[in-house]
Amino acid sequence: MNNLQIITKTVSHFGQNARVLINVDEKIICFVDPGADLELILESVDLDNYTVESIFLTHCHIDHGGAVKPLLELLEKKGKPTPTLYYHSKEWIVGKNIENYAKQSGFDEGSYFNIPNADVNLDDMDTFNIGSISAKLLFTPGHAPGHIAMYFENLNATLLGDFSQEAPSNICLSGDALFRESVGRTDLPLSNPQDLVKSVQEKLYTLPEDTLILPGHGKNTTIGHEKTNNPFIRPLLN
Ligand SMILES: [Zn+2]
């Protein structure tokens, strides 16, 4: 079974968990939610000997996609092939307003950039591959209209960087749909609180209880822990 290294780096003014997924045997890299602080994200990444095949955004908020543009520019400067950018079409409008939002928030110019157009919309995709390693995609709107979580089953993973721990075989990158004992905000433009509850109950709480959740913000958790302890989602009535 191929080994997937998952490196977490907490970045941006919002403490977002950017992740680098590395298919070690096939030397393929996928960046998930490179939101800001590119130098930090790239600290332990070997761009010279690996191919960056893809950039995947769970959604297009500033803290998840604000560094896509400089990442693409850096790869181009290094003469590397251009990776494929994936996100849901409902996120497009959000990604085009990042620079405005950063300015309004008083962040330094050059901290965050508008997200380029997706090469592939995730709208109709059920699976996502990093070489021969395959993830299921879970459409989980609510916090953001086109939010997608990524679920790996029977994975042989190593968790590195921030919040590193021993990895179980089922791992879900939950973006901002589900946090440890919390959920993503639903008071933002295009958020929908009912959709979020439904997404968590129907798409995430139906995963195996031992599934490790790697959230977009904060510490890791498990589905089992959240079903018992998350005050924002009522338990599923069987
Ligand atoms: Zn968000």
Cβ atoms of 34 and 111 closer than 8 Å: no
Which distant-in-sequence residues (6+ apart) come within 8 Å of 6 by Cβ? 19, 20, 21, 22, 157, 158, 159, 160, 167, 171, 214
Report the pLDDT averaged over residues 32-61: 97
The rounded Å distance from CA 227 to ligand 1 centre is: 22
Superfamily of domain 3-229, CATH level 4: Ribonuclease Z/Hydroxyacylglutathione hydrolase-like (3.60.15.10)
* Predicted pLDDT of residue 2: 75
Give the start-end residues of each E strand in 12-132: 16-23, 28-32, 51-56, 84-87, 120-121, 127-130
**Interval 208-238: pLDDT, tens:** 999 999 999 999 999 999 999 999 997 545 4
pLDDT 10s digits, 124-150: 999 999 999 999 999 999 999 999 999
Q: Note the pLDDT of residue 237.
A: 52
Between CA 89 and CA 163 the distance in angstroms is 31
Spans of all domains in the chain: 3-229
Instruction: Calculate mean pLDDT across residues 39-63.
Output: 96
pLDDT-derived band at 165 (thresholds 50, 70, 90) equals very high
Ion ligand 1: residues, CB < 5 A: 61, 176
Instruction: Quote the pTM value.
Output: 0.96
Q: How many CB atoms lie within 10 A of CB 6?
A: 22
Rounded to an integer, the average pLDDT of 48-70 is 98
Residue 127 C-alpha to ligand 1 middle, in angstroms? 22
The pLDDT > 70 percentage for the chain reads: 98
Q: E-assigned strands of 99-170?
A: 120-121, 127-130, 133-139, 148-152, 156-161
25 C-alpha to center of ligand 1: Å?
Answer: 32
CA of 182 to the centre of ligand 1 (A): 13
Mean residue pLDDT across the chain: 96
pLDDT (tens digit per residue) in 181-197? 999 999 999 999 999 99
Residues in the chain, how many?
A: 238
